[in-house]
């Protein structure tokens, strides 16, 4: 069964339309109508900057090639890019390194669905030949990567992590794979996801956290985050609907970027929630995520929810010009690992960044609005439920998809519309809150910010910031305005250049 992302997207999911509604409903609460003024007021939200400029990544001029293969495997994309371009390292050798590591460790981590060895080596040799002939495709030239196994690739299984689909083959190329292929990326493997994009339990078991093999990798982008953490790939593509990039990035100690809704095409990806699904990279650094986003962003006619918006990152931009806020009450108290979050604030103050306290306050409780995801998921997997194929799912507990999909059928259409109206108000309130700042710093799971920003479509950058007492990685999150990911990258890069949290390697795999 092939499910397209654009089935329900035009009426509601085009993010600009949602923002028009936001203003309309906000004013309409008192006037009872959408006024010309409300439409004019929405213009800044609907039409982000479309003047794309050349990128200035600020990559190092020289990178020393490590002697040991595992040290090469843990290099960030930014360093690998320099090594490939300077021909100190061939794409074929790099691909062989990652293939060996995947073969050695993927069973331990239960993170791999399909290894694409033959096609990866063929592509690597082609890219080495191109470079020798003077053709260089850009910073991702010759660098292997992995994808979450909900993106379709012809002649390859796309299992969605679920038993009913474990032999499914969708003969179309997802847009993200097509773009990365054109940019010189080498698809080396399809990694696990929690079944139908929830959690870390899939038809083959539980994907493991490389830092603690007794612990799941979290999800749903479980395999992507686990593989990056263990040095099986330098970056991988994940998706997020309600935490599926942020949560596994935190658990596995890697850097995840959840872009603005509509920033990256979802064509060829499994649909769970047409109004909340977002695609983003998971890697070793904020800069690496920027290199990938620069390739992936843009309008795709096959996904009407995509929005034209420039991504203009430049290493020459002065980070101290950013106005940076933080949700002050989230940094108070004695919760687990709060000292790691405070350490990020201390680092930035030491670097001369002025931090402005504020609070996350909205008139809308986001909790009940998550039922929109449940309704859309039930619609996306209507056939699964009606044909009783959900009986084949591994997880059958009360809060597993089979029971969520069934119970969601009892949510009235009227209530879904009312939730949509409330969500539109929430979008506008978050826009009003965030527009006075360039970046807002928040603990990744404090309060309801993760629910809110997934509902409103705002971008987030999740960075490692140390470890809890039990040795599990922790993270901090940077939030930004719609389509302003470059500011998240600027501040995230500063944090990572002035700390070593993201350089830590899980000891069992550092060999």
Concatenated DSSP letters for 331-374? G-S--TTHHHHHHHHHHHHHTT--EEEE----SS-SGGGGHHHH
pLDDT (tens digit per residue) in 132-146? 999 999 999 999 999
Give me 169's structure tokens: 């083959």
Please give the pLDDT value at position 41: 46
In a domain, 488, yes or no: yes
40 — pLDDT class (breaks 50, 70, 90): very low
pLDDT (tens digit per residue) in 404-432? 999 999 999 999 999 999 999 999 999 99
> Is a pLDDT exceeding 70 seen at residue 23?
no
Please give the pLDDT value at position 148: 98
> 212 pairs with which residues across the strands?
209
In a domain, 350, yes or no: yes
Give me 254's structure tokens: 């890697």
From CA 254, how far away is CA 450, in angstroms rounded? 18
48 — pLDDT class (breaks 50, 70, 90): confident
> Is a pLDDT exceeding 80 seen at residue 83?
yes
| Structural domain span for residue 223 | 69-360+430-509
pTM of the model as a whole = 0.92
Query: Which string of DSSP letters, residue by residue, matches 387-414?
Result: TTGGGG-S--STTSHHHHHHHHTTS-HH
From CA 147, how far away is CA 236, in angstroms rounded? 5
Phi, psi of 188 (to 5 degrees): -110, -20
Please give the pLDDT value at position 47: 72
169 — pLDDT class (breaks 50, 70, 90): very high
In a domain, 84, yes or no: yes
From CA 281, how far away is CA 277, in angstroms rounded? 14
From CA 32, how far away is CA 470, in angstroms rounded? 54
From CA 396, how far away is CA 255, in angstroms rounded? 31
In a domain, 450, yes or no: yes
Arithmetic mean of pLDDT, 180-187: 98
Spatial contact of 94 and 131, defined as CB atoms under 8 Å apart: no
Residue of 221, 223, 247, 59 whose CA lies nearest to 138: 59
In a domain, 376, yes or no: no
pLDDT (tens digit per residue) in 337-393? 999 999 999 999 999 999 999 999 999 999 999 999 999 999 999 999 999 999 999
Please give the pLDDT value at position 46: 54
92 — pLDDT class (breaks 50, 70, 90): very high
Characterize 198-231 residue by residue with b for buried, 16 or more Cβ atoms within 10 angstroms of its Cβ, and e for exposed.
Answer: bbbbbbbebbbbbbbeebbbbbbbbbbbbbbbbb
In a domain, 127, yes or no: yes
Q: Which residue has the tokens 């990035």?
A: 249
pLDDT (tens digit per residue) in 436-476? 999 999 999 999 999 999 999 999 999 999 999 999 999 99
3-state class (DSSP) for residue 185: coil
Residue of 347, 258, 352, 314 whose CA lies nearest to 490: 314
Characterize 77-90 residue by residue with b for buried, 16 or more Cβ atoms within 10 angstroms of its Cβ, and e for exposed.
Answer: bbbbbbbbbeeebb
> 462 pairs with which residues across the strands?
256, 477
The percent helix, strand, coil of the chain (3-state, each to 5) is: 45, 15, 40
Spatial contact of 229 and 506, defined as CB atoms under 8 Å apart: yes
pLDDT (tens digit per residue) in 277-306? 999 999 999 999 999 999 999 999 999 999
In a domain, 368, yes or no: no
In a domain, 458, yes or no: yes
pLDDT (tens digit per residue) in 306-341? 999 999 999 999 999 999 999 999 999 998 899 999
> Is a pLDDT exceeding 60 seen at residue 8?
no
> Is a pLDDT exceeding 70 seen at residue 22?
no
The residue with greater pLDDT, 40 or 293, is: 293
Please give the pLDDT value at position 378: 98
Task: Please count the structural domains in the chain.
Answer: 1
Domain containing residue 257: CATH number: 3.90.1300.10
Would you give the distance in Å from CA 186 to the centre of its chain?
Answer: 19
**Average pLDDT value over all residues in the chain:** 92
């Amino acid at each position: 069964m092939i499910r397209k992302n654009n089935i329900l997207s035009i009426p509601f999911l085009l993010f600009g339309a949602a923002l028009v509604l936001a203003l309309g409903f906000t004013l309409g609460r008192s006037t009872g109508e959408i006024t010309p003024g409300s439409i004019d007021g929405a213009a800044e939200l609907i039409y982000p900057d479309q003047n794309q400029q050349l990128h200035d990544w600020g990559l190092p001029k020289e990178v020393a090639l490590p002697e040991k293969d595992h040290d090469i495997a843990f290099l960030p994309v930014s360093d690998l890019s320099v090594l490939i371009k300077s021909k100190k390292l061939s794409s074929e050798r790099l691909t062989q390194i990652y293939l060996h590591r995947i073969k050695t460790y993927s069973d331990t981590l239960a993170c791999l669905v399909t290894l694409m060895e033959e096609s990866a080596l063929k592509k690597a040799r082609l890219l080495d030949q191109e470079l020798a002939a003077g053709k260089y495709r850009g910073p991702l030239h010759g660098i292997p990567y992995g994808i979450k196994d909900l993106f379709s690739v012809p002649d390859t299984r796309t299992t969605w992590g679920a038993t009913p689909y474990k032999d499914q083959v969708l003969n179309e190329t997802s847009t993200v794979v097509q773009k990365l292929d054109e940019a010189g990326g080498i698809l080396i493997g399809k990694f696990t996801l929690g079944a139908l994009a929830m959690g870390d339990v899939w038809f083959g078991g539980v994907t493991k956290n490389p830092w603690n093999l007794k612990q799941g990798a979290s999800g749903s982008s479980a395999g992507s985050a686990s593989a990056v953490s263990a040095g099986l790939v330098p970056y991988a593509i994940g998706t997020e609907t309600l935490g599926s990039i942020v949560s596994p990035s935190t658990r596995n100690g890697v850097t995840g970027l959840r872009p603005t809704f509509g920033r990256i095409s979802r064509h060829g990806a499994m649909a769970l929630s047409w109004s909340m699904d977002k695609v983003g990279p998971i890697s070793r650094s904020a800069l690496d995520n920027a290199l990938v986003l620069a390739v992936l962003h843009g309008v795709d006619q096959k996904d009407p929810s995509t929005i034209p918006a420039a991504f203009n990152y430049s290493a020459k931009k002065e980070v101290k010009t950013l106005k940076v806020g933080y949700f002050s009450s989230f940094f108070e108290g004695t919760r687990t690992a709060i000292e790691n979050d405070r350490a990020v604030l201390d680092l930035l103050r030491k670097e001369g960044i002025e931090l402005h306290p504020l609070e996350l306050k909205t008139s809308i409780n986001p909790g009940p609005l998550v039922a929109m995801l449940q309704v859309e998921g039930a619609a996306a997997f209507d056939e699964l439920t009606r044909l009783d194929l959900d009986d084949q799912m591994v997880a059958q507990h009360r809060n597993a998809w089979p029971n969520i999909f069934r119970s969601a059928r009892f949510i009235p259409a009227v209530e879904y519309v009312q939730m949509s109206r409330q969500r539109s108000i929430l979008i506008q309130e978050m826009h009003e809150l965030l527009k006075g700042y360039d970046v807002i710093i928040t603990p990744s799971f404090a309060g309801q910010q993760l629910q809110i920003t997934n509902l409103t479509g705002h971008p987030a950058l999740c960075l490692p910031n140390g470890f809890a007492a039990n040795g599990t990685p922790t993270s901090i999150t940077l939030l930004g305005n719609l389509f302003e990911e470059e500011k998240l990258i600027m501040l995230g890069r500063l944090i990572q250049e002035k700390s070593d949290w993201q350089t830590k390697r899980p000891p069992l795999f550092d060999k």
